[in-house]
Structure 1
Amino acid sequence: MLKNENIIIFSSDDWKSGLKSSKYHIAKHFSRHNKVLFVNSIGLRNPGINKSDISRIFAKLFSFFSGYHKVSDNLFVCTPVVVPFHSFRGVKSINANLLVWFIRLMMFRLSMKRPILIIFMPNVKDVIGRLNEKCVVYYCIDELKGYREVDRNVFEKDETELLRRADCVVTCSAELNEIKKKSNPHTYYIPHGVEWAHFRSALNPQLPIPRDIEEFRKPIIGFYGFISDDWIDFALLDHMAVVHPEWSVVLIGRSKGDINKRLKTANIHFLGIRSFEELPAYNKAFDVSIIPFVINQLTMSSNPLKLFEYLSSGKPVVSVDIPEVRNHAAWVKIASSHEQFVRHIEECLLEDTLECRLMRSDAMRNETWENRIDLLSRIINEHTHEQ
């Protein structure tokens, strides 16, 4: 584990986004022995003229003028402000200077010198070489150019330069690893981890089930995560709900747009965001947990963090067929069609036992974030250059 270092994490989402993604866990674990500055996302796409984007702009302005937010003794969160039209050449230059100025200011206020940079967003590449850093890590967790609203040409140009300039690259999936190591030989594969003890608590008979999900008709088929067209196969959800109107299909998480307009059947329920601390209790309520991803470039290179959390909670899991899930085929039923997905859920409902739930959870005991951070620390130490 790294100790007594200054670490700046350039995130691809915001600390208060409602999703406790890999960036959150990496920041929390590193902050136990290091000073960590978590930099909220500067975004990848140009904003639209809509309520959601306008609200986000004002929220970021408020966060910017508030300075940094202290989460704990060693963990701080800040929000840079940049011109939100990333595709224009002049704007990119302005944004690079604004970002460097802002980060230098935060470093001064927090007494951070010679930081380690962990970059999740290629469009912050221009900070490299301007913060007196000792190591640059490109941490690639998704094929971000797969998002529909991302300018692929701009993204690919930025990522090509970041891959060239990074001291090392870390990917969360074997698919991403094969792609990125062609551009940087110092590329490593580290799958996502899990807060195992936290999710194991779903097997505690004393853990109460939240009232808002307890009222739904059993069985409950559950999912949590980011709910959008880029990730979710809504046709699959509709198929499940129509074939089995007696099932309650429950979705938890952050959504893009008005998700209720996409849900066509009465037995699909959207609960919105629930805190990370509450997730084991909701997992306990699920009879079967699902990964109903749409198959595209984004999802085929993903490593669903929720898979480890579902299994640590002891849940039977049904997933679409994506490469990283195949690595856990002993514990997951994998479907290649909508019909097979439904059949696998039916099988899980018939086959699941307490013994099976304990075995699934036990299988995840060593897949912890502690172990992942130890490996990441060794990689960073290997590629750190002293002044």
Structure 2
Amino acid sequence: MKNTTDINDIVVLSTADWDNPFWTNKQHVAVELANRGHRVLYIESLGLRRPSVNKKDLSRIFRRVLKAIKAPRQVRDNIWVWSPISIPFNNYAFVRKLNKLILSSALKFWCWRLKFKNETLWTYNPLTTRFLEPSDFGYVVYHCVDEIKAQPGMPVDILQDAEEELVRRADITFVTSLTLLKSRQKWSDEVYYFSNVADYNHFSTALDETLPVPADLSQIPEPRIGFIGAISGYKVNFSLLEEIAKAHPEWSIVMIGDVGEGDPNTDATQLTRHKNIHLIGPRSYQQLPGYLKGFTATLLPNNLNEYTASMFPMKFFEYLAAGKAVVSVDLASLCDFKDYVRIAHTPTDFISALEDITSGNRISVEKCQELAQQYTYQSRTEKMFKLIDEKRNESSNRS
């Protein structure tokens, strides 16, 4: 894998579908790689979690089968998206071997058809070595953005072993939180921390005076306390939201996102019984700045558990880019940014912070913008490639 050939064509092994309304690192990084002139083959999620017998999972399987029979589709300049078929029962060794045979063979074929050469693998999937052979690629980047094994329904033991192998075999590993850095550095010296960032240019349009607040949001009474993201039981503290709703029935708590994303067993009935909690469903990525414009304050109301201890919420910089004041639980990843967010340790603290913000006592929009402008996909990708180039040059000089 230690190859001195320039990085040109890149295979991105994602854990998110391209068309998911809430873009994550995976889609944004693919776009940034393409903007840098790389040709990118983006592989959609292979399904790490064992599917449940529910409408959401069955619908996704059906859509995926329809996609799998199609060739990679070009979605932007330099970006093709491929949806390979994969058997989602990765807790069985024979299934993993079959998936590896199918995926690696098909990937070689499509890379040949697209005239990709000496491909670099940029992977987000901790099971990568169970799907692909790292030595088939000119260079391997593992971008670790979550503690995936802490999500519900994951094959924990298999993920642990596979991810350790991946970190050891990758040329370089990037992590998005200091917690992930500490744990992954036990497996390799080539692990480096780069926090999550945001699409500043997109979300800062929330400050455009001509941008309208969407009609459905305008009908919800102010002040509006907003959240954008997956509304899942293992991520979001529903009891905290209830406490806020009961303390201030005149506030409107607006939740934008799919209920049960990543956790189909999520039960949100404790939220729906409150008239001032509005679960309005997902909205397209292009619409999000308009919704943020209509919020008085924004929330990071996470549970504190193994998953969130290793999580750096992308929403933090998205909220700041939109000029919004943020109130958060005490997430480890935000310890360096306490001058830009109100940290709450109890529901009372959370409510008090929101009371201050709704009364006008908040950090300035200019201060929000100043920080958000420093944490963009473009700047982070430039820093990543600078480090990659340094490491590749060191390797070349040693050999």
Tell me whether the two structures share a fold, i.e. TM-score over 0.5. yes
Contact 2:96 2:130 in 1 (8 A): no
Q: Against the structure 1 CA distance between its residues 259 and 287, is the aligned structure 2 distance closer, same or farther, given a 3 Å change threshold?
A: farther
Q: Against the structure 1 CA distance between its residues 232 and 259, is the aligned structure 2 distance closer, same or farther, given a 3 Å change threshold?
A: same
Structure 2 CA distance, aligned partners of 1:334 and 1:242? 20
- Residue 118 (structure 1) aligns with: 122
- Residue 92 (structure 1) aligns with: 96
Say whether 1:151 aligns with 2:159.
no
Pick aligned residue for 1:25 from 20, 28, 47: 28
| One-letter amino acid matched to 1:365 | Q
Structure 2 CA distance, aligned partners of 1:197 and 1:352? 26
Q: How does 1:163-178 map to 2 (within 5 A)?
A: 163-178=167-182
- Residue 237 (structure 1) aligns with: 241
Structure 1: which 5+ runs fail to align?
A: none
Structure 1 CA distance, aligned partners of 2:133 and 2:25? 25
SS in 2 for 1:31: helix
Structure 2 CA distance, aligned partners of 1:245 and 1:102? 55
Structure 1 CA distance, aligned partners of 2:88 and 2:7? 35
1:100 deviates by 0.3
Pick aligned residue for 1:275 from 263, 280, 284: 284
Structure 2 CA distance, aligned partners of 1:206 and 1:358? 19
- Residue 340 (structure 1) aligns with: 349
- Residue 15 (structure 2) aligns with: 12
Contact 1:316 1:332 in 2 (8 A): yes
The alignment yields a C-alpha RMSD, in angstroms, of 1.9
Q: How does 1:63-82 map to 2 (within 5 A)?
A: 63-82=67-86
Q: How does 1:282-301 map to 2 (within 5 A)?
A: 282-301=291-310
Structure 2 CA distance, aligned partners of 1:159 and 1:4? 24
| One-letter amino acid matched to 2:235 | W
Pick aligned residue for 1:358 from 366, 369, 373: 366
1:140 deviates by 0.5
Contact 2:28 2:377 in 1 (8 A): yes
Contact 2:100 2:132 in 1 (8 A): no
Aligned residues: 385
Contact 2:47 2:86 in 1 (8 A): no
Q: How does 1:162-241 map to 2 (within 5 A)?
A: 162-241=166-245
Percent of pairs with identical residues: 31
Say whether 1:372 aligns with 2:359.
no
Q: Against the structure 1 CA distance between its residues 187 and 130, is the aligned structure 2 distance closer, same or farther, given a 3 Å change threshold?
A: closer
1:260 deviates by 5.2
1:158 deviates by 1.0
1:381 deviates by 2.6
Query: Deviation digits for residues 149-176 of structure 1, max 9, x if unmatched?
Result: 1121111111111111111110011111
Contact 1:19 1:254 in 2 (8 A): no
Pick aligned residue for 1:349 from 358, 367, 380: 358
1:369 deviates by 0.9
Q: Against the structure 1 CA distance between its residues 14 and 131, is the aligned structure 2 distance closer, same or farther, given a 3 Å change threshold?
A: farther
Structure 1 CA distance, aligned partners of 2:59 and 2:357? 42
Q: Against the structure 1 CA distance between its residues 130 and 245, is the aligned structure 2 distance closer, same or farther, given a 3 Å change threshold?
A: closer
**TM-score scaled to structure 1, two decimals?**
0.95
1:262 deviates by 4.2
1:278 deviates by 1.3
- Residue 324 (structure 1) aligns with: 333
1:261 deviates by 2.9
1:62 deviates by 0.8
Q: Against the structure 1 CA distance between its residues 350 and 156, is the aligned structure 2 distance closer, same or farther, given a 3 Å change threshold?
A: same
Structure 1 CA distance, aligned partners of 2:194 and 2:297? 27
1:253 deviates by 1.6
More deviation in 334-343 or 249-258?
249-258
